[in-house]
Structure 1
Amino acid sequence: MIIVRSPLRVSFFGGGTDHPTWFNRPEPGAVLSTTINKYIYVQLRRLPAVFDFNYRVAWGMLEEVRCMNEIRHPVVREVLKHYGAADDSGYEVIYNADLPSQTGLGSSSAFTVSLLHAYFGNLGRLSPKHVLAREAIFVEQELLKETVGCQDQIAAAHGGLNRIDFSPGGDHRVRPVNITPARRALLEDSLMMFFTGFTRSADAIEKKKVARFDDRARELRAMYDMVAEGERILTDPNCPLTEFGRLLHHAWMEKRKLDSSVSNPTIDGCYDAARKAGALGGKLLGAGGGGFLLMFVPPEARASVLSALASLTFVPFRMEHDGTSVVLYNPDLTSNYLTSAARVS
């Protein structure tokens, strides 16, 4: 048995420029993001041949099926098929999460990274983080044909506060943003996250945004430029951190121009209420349309913002830097029955 956890992420700037449709033009692509201490957990183990099913998958439903192709969870099915599990090999996969899925925190990619990490680990191959990120991108974009970018998989695998740059062909570079412990603590104390109470399909929203890349090139270039500016604010000890909050507001105004589905009147009302209560800026996390609202709030205004957004659920968090990690590893004696049709290196 192996249990793996991978962190969820908060993306500050550059979202949209991490999509291959954009950076393969080529146009410059980069994001500034951090992972947080909220996780996706995947437990995987080999099933002994004593059940009347070969696969048990527990997520939003419980699946117990004999054939791999009968598995309804698309990521589990395609990972097992592509990476060489025999059809009668027998696996149990259990999913758990600290926060709901489809809420703008990169949970889908964190699950993919966790599943790959657990699957390879069960075979005795504890793969490097850059390999897990690369394979997760391949699974989502090539096997599942999802309209998703590349930042979530990389963030979940590597962890930390990073600038991630994207190059034509899919190459990427992860560069940690180094700030003092005191500045990091002030940043954490200034970020407040609220659950709006409803979820959305990121794939549907991303398809709309990608279709409008030609019309929204100016906005995307501006959002790319904000990555460098956000990094500068964080790393310059002489720059007031409040400038980071104001830049978030500017970025949110630009992001809303990408497509009307990014926001809605309810979200706009909550955002405006938070700003009137003292928040300097913020954004709806992920593709938009629902999920979590992130606000930059000077510590002295936290109580006022909490009161203004009392109808929403406040979710405290801290930043984390570990990335995907193994929580428990107990090698299965039966793991040598597996074949590996797809080599991972």
Structure 2
Amino acid sequence: MIIRSKAPLRLGLAGGGSDVSPYSDIYGGLVLNATINLYTYCTIEEIEQDEIVINSYDSNCFEGYPLSSELKIDGKASLIKGVYNRIVKDYQITPQGFKITTYNDAPIGSGLGTSSSMVVCILKAFIEWQSLPLGDYETSRLAYEIERKDLMLSGGKQDQYAAAFGGFNYMEFHKEDLVIVNPLKIKRWIVDELEASIVLYFTGASRSSAKIINEQKENTSKGNSDAIEAMHQIKQSAVDMKFALLKGDTHALAEILGKGWANKKKMADAVTNPLIQKVFDVAVSAGALSGKVSGAGGGGFIMFMVEPTKKIELMNALGKLSGFVMPFQFTDGGAHGWRIYKSDRV
């Protein structure tokens, strides 16, 4: 039997960073995000040999391991091993031989939530394989615990829930890791207008979000008033953008996006750099109304808002730089898994 799964990546529209502890524990966080048609993928194949074969194209790990109830976390394919260890432990699964293959549509460090989406994707494959009783909330919570607590990887909570639920979501983050996901029903013409107004550009430089997130956490813990006030404004931008989005007011969306980026840069020194600033300068000169780096900052993808009639001019200007424009569309579906039996294969 073969199990496959896929989970979408996301664009953070507003409020990103307010989902990171300790800020979310003290003040509560609000995030507005939406999934796009870029995905992470996982395949699990049952094999007769008593071994676990890992083919992780996203982390460049291609190794076999003796069958065991726990795989050592050694920096190689940590996301796969973290999920496997937790599933076997929590659900008392009897180990059996299998091969697991993972890959994704965007580079690690892209700012689109690739790592968290991958954890959710791997979880979905194991959930389907072992028929585990986990809904979207339970899957998201478990993915968060594996990534942030078991593997000790820095980050917030929004990415796991975005990957599991899919679509446009207005998320609330409270103390004790309580998360409430409010799906937004956006009219089709608004989604079309938003897609026509956004250019997604990859800077060509991946980045590690850990340093930026750790600095953000430290600023909150130490009571840095400027950084905390900036995060308050970022959280408020999620509220403002929700109303603008529901009304289809793209000019307001562009203004809110720009203010959010201005406040984001106050959160940590590494959020921006000369490369990012150069891209922004080129984009604004070509007609971009505003923009923000997706995710924690420092590199990866930048999302620009532009008048649709000037979109080609902006794309052409960005095309002269070292990165590339990534076509995309918004998607409604969240992570899911399915089974393939040998008799079903063509």
Compute the TM-score of the two structures, normalised by the length of structure 1: 0.90
Match of 1:340 in 2: none
Question: Cα–Cα, structure 1 residues 317 and 89, in superposed 2: closer, same or farther, change >3 Å?
Answer: same
* 8 Å Cα contact 1:38-1:99 kept in structure 2: yes
Match of 1:249 in 2: 258
* Residue of structure 2 aligned with 1:266, choices 275, 292, 296: 275
In the alignment, the residues of structure 1 paired with residue 288 and residue 233 of structure 2 have an alpha-carbon distance, to the nearest angstrom, of 23
Q: Deviations over 1:212-256 (max 9, x none)?
A: 12211100000011111001111125xx31110121111101101
SS state of the match for residue 82, structure 2?
Answer: helix
Matched, 1:104 2:111: yes
In the alignment, the residues of structure 2 paired with residue 243 and residue 33 of structure 1 have an alpha-carbon distance, to the nearest angstrom, of 16
Match of 1:170 in 2: 177
Matched, 1:329 2:339: yes
In the alignment, the residues of structure 1 paired with residue 52 and residue 185 of structure 2 have an alpha-carbon distance, to the nearest angstrom, of 47
Structure 2 regions of 5+ residues with no counterpart?
none
Q: Deviations over 1:105-131 (max 9, x none)?
A: 000000000111111210123631111
In the alignment, the residues of structure 1 paired with residue 107 and residue 153 of structure 2 have an alpha-carbon distance, to the nearest angstrom, of 20
* 8 Å Cα contact 1:54-1:88 kept in structure 2: no
Matched, 1:28 2:22: no
Match of 1:343 in 2: none
Match of 2:83 in 1: 79
In the alignment, the residues of structure 2 paired with residue 331 and residue 204 of structure 1 have an alpha-carbon distance, to the nearest angstrom, of 44
Aligned residues: 326
* 8 Å Cα contact 1:121-1:127 kept in structure 2: no
Aligned residue identity for 1:48: E
Structure 1 regions of 5+ residues with no counterpart?
333-345
Question: How far apart are 1:84 and its partner, in Å?
Answer: 1.4
Match of 2:318 in 1: 309
Matched, 1:204 2:211: yes
Question: How far apart are 1:268 and its partner, in Å?
Answer: 0.7
SS state of the match for residue 322, structure 1?
Answer: coil
Match of 1:195 in 2: 202
In the alignment, the residues of structure 2 paired with residue 282 and residue 200 of structure 1 have an alpha-carbon distance, to the nearest angstrom, of 18
In the alignment, the residues of structure 2 paired with residue 40 and residue 304 of structure 1 have an alpha-carbon distance, to the nearest angstrom, of 31
In the alignment, the residues of structure 2 paired with residue 134 and residue 146 of structure 1 have an alpha-carbon distance, to the nearest angstrom, of 15
* 8 Å Cα contact 2:11-2:294 kept in structure 1: yes
In the alignment, the residues of structure 2 paired with residue 94 and residue 54 of structure 1 have an alpha-carbon distance, to the nearest angstrom, of 11
Question: How far apart are 1:30 and its partner, in Å?
Answer: 0.8
In the alignment, the residues of structure 2 paired with residue 70 and residue 92 of structure 1 have an alpha-carbon distance, to the nearest angstrom, of 17
Aligned residue identity for 1:34: A
Aligned residue identity for 2:54: R
Aligned residue identity for 1:142: K
Structure 1 segment 267-282 matched on structure 2, within 5 A? 267-282=276-291
Task: Identify which range, 125-134 or 186-195, moves more after superposition.
Answer: 125-134
Task: Identify which range, 56-65 or 34-43, moves more after superposition.
Answer: 56-65
In the alignment, the residues of structure 2 paired with residue 56 and residue 235 of structure 1 have an alpha-carbon distance, to the nearest angstrom, of 44
In the alignment, the residues of structure 2 paired with residue 87 and residue 166 of structure 1 have an alpha-carbon distance, to the nearest angstrom, of 35
* Residue of structure 2 aligned with 1:146, choices 153, 166, 170: 153
Question: How far apart are 1:138 and its partner, in Å?
Answer: 0.9
Question: Cα–Cα, structure 1 residues 153 and 246, in superposed 2: closer, same or farther, change >3 Å?
Answer: same
Q: Deviations over 1:26-55 (max 9, x none)?
A: x02010100000100011122212x7x433
* Residue of structure 2 aligned with 1:131, choices 138, 150, 156: 138
Task: Identify which range, 11-20 or 202-211, moves more after superposition.
Answer: 202-211
Compute the TM-score of the two structures, normalised by the length of structure 2: 0.90
* 8 Å Cα contact 1:10-1:105 kept in structure 2: yes
Question: How far apart are 1:103 and its partner, in Å?
Answer: 0.7
In the alignment, the residues of structure 1 paired with residue 52 and residue 113 of structure 2 have an alpha-carbon distance, to the nearest angstrom, of 30
* 8 Å Cα contact 1:17-1:30 kept in structure 2: yes
Question: How far apart are 1:58 and its partner, in Å?
Answer: 2.8
Question: How far apart are 1:82 and its partner, in Å?
Answer: 2.1
SS state of the match for residue 121, structure 1?
Answer: helix
Aligned residue identity for 2:339: Y
Match of 2:56 in 1: 58
Match of 1:291 in 2: 300
* 8 Å Cα contact 2:54-2:62 kept in structure 1: yes
* 8 Å Cα contact 1:30-1:227 kept in structure 2: yes
SS state of the match for residue 288, structure 2?
Answer: coil
Q: Deviations over 1:180-229 (max 9, x none)?
A: 21111001111110110010111222112211122111000000111110
* 8 Å Cα contact 2:21-2:217 kept in structure 1: no
In the alignment, the residues of structure 1 paired with residue 56 and residue 240 of structure 2 have an alpha-carbon distance, to the nearest angstrom, of 43
Tell me how large the CA RMSD over aligned residues is: 1.8
Q: Deviations over 1:278-319 (max 9, x none)?
A: 111111111111111110111011122112212230101000
Task: Identify which range, 207-216 or 282-291, moves more after superposition.
Answer: 207-216
SS state of the match for residue 20, structure 1?
Answer: coil
Matched, 1:228 2:229: no
